[in-house]
Amino acid sequence: MVTGAGRGLGAQGALALAQAGAELVLLSRTRSELEQVAEQIAGAKGRARVIACDVTNAAEVNSALAGIDRLDILLNNAGMNIPEPFVDVSEAHLDDMIALNVRAAFLVAQAAVKKMLQHPDRRNLGASIIHVTSQMGRVGAERRTVYCMTKHAIEGLTKAMAVELAPENIRVNAIAPTFLETPMTASFFADPEFRNWVISRIPLGRIGRMDEVTGAIVFLASPAASLITGTSLAIDGGWTAR
């Protein structure tokens, strides 16, 4: 299951998982976007179901999970960012970002784990949860106080879930990408000054490619990562190494 699957990293992550053999359940609020992703998956000989769902609504999340017979992988991807100076952050923006980036991520993970635990052979089969955080879950940055706060929270959630769920053979990890070319960042990169600033902070000297992140998603979901839990994989071109 992939949340925020209609565009950006969620869509590309879903495609990569489908190409690796997974059967997908695609969640987001916009059915038309999900259907386009499902068509791409079908074109690649994969299988996908579409469920229009607002992940900030616990009832909708539970309803979506009720229609799934078995769940082995969760890519917990849905999120948002509203860059603005700390002193200008409104309560509305604060509440919206916490609601999606933290509360919804927690509730989706909780509902997913309940579904995973229903499988009678779960401890032998194992399962994988992958939270999408950010390099901003490890460092700070101007105009991103709320975003940094929420992503730091999910980094902590990843560790706590991993410890608690390890006896059930449910692995919990995170990926922490740098800036990527996505619909969410397109407006930012339209500003040459911002683009140059980003590139100057990345030792590899370039913005990340989507496939460089989707490869990590497939790895963490697969048996190749069977001894990896409670970690966050930085895919940041060296940003957080400074």
Catalytic center residues? 147, 151
Task: State residue 41 phi and psi, 5-degree precision.
Answer: -65, -45
Strand order of the sheet with strand 48-52?
Answer: 48-52, 24-28, 2-3, 73-76, 127-132, 170-177, 232-235
Cβ-contact 221, 213 below 8 angstroms: no
- What ranges in the chain are assigned the alpha helix state H? 8-19, 31-43, 58-66, 91-98, 105-117, 122-125, 145-165, 183-189, 192-201, 210-221
Rounded Cα gap, residues 102 and 96, in angstroms: 10
Q: Is the dihedral of CA 198, 201, 202, 206 positive or negative?
A: positive
What would the two tokens of residue 119 be? 């499988």
Residue with tokens 């995973």: 116
**Kind and range of the H or E element at 80?**
none
Is residue 52 exposed (0-12), middle (13-18) or buried (19+ Cβ within 10 Å)? middle
Spatial CB neighbours of 199, under 8 Å, sequence gap ≥ 6 = 205, 206, 207
